[in-house]
Amino acid sequence: MNSRGMSRTRKAMEEYFDLLEEPLSKRAVRAVLEEGKKPTEVMKGMYRSDIMAAGQTLLGSMPYFWRYKDAGRAVADELKDLTMAKRALVAYYQGSVTPAEGPRFVRRALLYADMVVMMDPVSRTALVRHIYSPKAAAEVAVWKALEVLKFRDLCLGAGGRGSPPLVILPPLDILMDEEEFEAIRRLADEHTLEASSEIFGRGFRSLKELSEFIKSAQGPDKLAGRARRTELLEFPDGGLDAIAHLRMFMEEELKLAPEGAFRGPDDPELLKEAYLAVVRGCLCGVNEQFWFCGRFGAQPSTDSEYHWRYLLWAYEHDQARPARALLGEVHKGLRALSSRHARVLWLINRPECRWLGDVPVKKLVKMREEGALEELRCKLGRIFYVVGHVPLEELEEVVDDCRRELEDELRRHEEKLRDLKMEFGLSASAVVVGVLGAALPFLAPLAFLLGGSIGVLPALAAAKAGLDWWRERNRPIGILLKPWAHVAR
């Protein structure tokens, strides 16, 4: 990947992670980065006053960094120059706060994409802090900061050369102009009404009508009982059905909201907010992802089955519609979802292929710096050829076929390495025989004659076999052998 002109991005990423770390204790940072502890576990060992102070600092400093220091625009401009010049394949992540498997998700994506882009979740919390109590806002900010710090080494791990493998961008609210932002929100409202009409089997003409219908249900179990289609209300990633998912959001809303916002756990207003957080919240994320992919020429990527369901829903419902005013970027992003690149990025994050995330970071970075990523991308594209020729809704049916194709390719590569190594060993043995025969004529006249007459040929064969083995050994596909061998056992 030609990554000239990304110096401002690298500098911005260094400043970003410095700002994240600054209000946090060294002990907390070390516990996450070096000891691998979960942020929630780390926060249990922190004083409440320290969490409040760090959270308030983060809520003020991160949006200021992106908006008023103009870091967001600088990174976005360089990123757009890179993608518009077709010099990089960029994957834009959306789905949860950060990928569920953390850096392993990014390592998988970087086997195919030149760069992964994620949104800064701390700044997003700052922009909607009014929906939280002050205590909750600070706690959420610290938790999200610790989550994002897991990606520091991967983001800055290219040794100072080239573009960062991972780039953090501000919430798209900061990158969009006001008209685009309002248009995206209106589209989310339209989608919410359409999705709700399908879920409950009745037409809703306004959010007010939908809200009254939800509040009349008197509880998540009765609301889910009214649904004719529940798949958009479920949370498959956590094994939650529609009732459990709505109840979980109600509990979270009640815990984080300002005091007095709801009358209690049975408040109909709480059920309405939870439902809209489940449906409208995900649709907002989908539309933002499509907008980014359309504006920057990126590919949508996720590790969330929940988010993927909404991506497919939006794709199916908007493909036949004409592009709307101010939403051309969203429709470009919709088209990107059906591209071969987006399908491969989806596939390598399926459970069947998650072992791909075990590739060591140092080897991954070295491969990218040596310019070997394009060969690996082409190889994976050929192996997963079938995903580009089935409808999006049928991708699940070819996952096992693609997994077997990948394993067969790795097996062939391993066998070829073994054969070339054996060929080199036999050729080298012949050279040894020839050398001994030439060196000891007084002990073995016949060996001397053989060594003198054919010793050169085995030497040439050994050199060729050794060179072939070395080339095959250093092919990019070989980076997957060790993680695959571990799974195969």
Asked if 302 and 350 count as a contact pair (C-beta separation under 8 A), the reply is no
Between CA 287 and CA 299 the distance in angstroms is 13
Between CA 356 and CA 482 the distance in angstroms is 10
- In a shared domain, residues 169 and 296: yes
- In a shared domain, residues 290 and 171: yes
Is the pLDDT confidence value at 214 over 90?
Answer: yes
Which among 254, 282, 310 is the end of a domain?
A: 282
Helix (H) or strand (E) holding 92: strand 90-93
Could you tell me the pLDDT band of residue 329, with boundaries at 50, 70 and 90? Answer: confident
Q: Does residue 483 form part of some domain?
A: yes
Is the pLDDT confidence value at 99 over 50?
Answer: yes
Is the pLDDT confidence value at 201 over 70?
Answer: yes
- In a shared domain, residues 157 and 209: no
- In a shared domain, residues 264 and 145: no
Could you tell me the pLDDT band of residue 466, with boundaries at 50, 70 and 90? Answer: low
Closest C-alpha to 296, from 89, 121, 114, 74: 89
Between CA 413 and CA 472 the distance in angstroms is 8
CA angle 89, 95, 98 (to 5 degrees): 85
For the chain, state the CA radius of gyration. Answer: 28
Per-residue confidence (pLDDT) for residue 425, from 0 to 100: 61
Q: Does residue 249 form part of some domain?
A: yes
Between CA 292 and CA 39 the distance in angstroms is 29
**What is the tens place of the pLDDT at every residue in 9-67?**
889 999 999 999 999 999 999 999 999 899 999 999 999 999 999 999 999 999 999 98
CA dihedral 354, 355, 358, 363 (to 10 degrees): -100
Q: Does residue 225 form part of some domain?
A: yes
Per-residue confidence (pLDDT) for residue 443, from 0 to 100: 44
- In a shared domain, residues 123 and 139: yes
Asked if 222 and 247 count as a contact pair (C-beta separation under 8 A), the reply is no
- In a shared domain, residues 217 and 172: no
Boundaries of domain holding 444:
401-488
Mean pLDDT of the chain: 86
When pLDDT is averaged across residues 129-136 and rounded to a whole number, the result is: 93
- In a shared domain, residues 72 and 171: yes
Per-residue confidence (pLDDT) for residue 427, from 0 to 100: 60
Q: Does residue 260 form part of some domain?
A: yes
**What is the tens place of the pLDDT at every residue in 103-132?**
999 999 999 999 999 999 999 999 999 999
CA dihedral 290, 291, 294, 295 (to 10 degrees): -150
The CB density around residue 174, as the number of other CB atoms within 10 Å, is 19
Q: Does residue 396 form part of some domain?
A: no
Between CA 320 and CA 165 the distance in angstroms is 36
Per-residue confidence (pLDDT) for residue 463, from 0 to 100: 67
- In a shared domain, residues 377 and 249: no
* Phi, psi values for residue 158, rounded to 5°: -90, 20
Q: What percent of the chain has pLDDT over 70?
A: 86
Total structural domains within the chain: 3
Which among 388, 416, 436 is the end of a domain?
A: 388
Which among 350, 367, 388 is the end of a domain?
A: 388
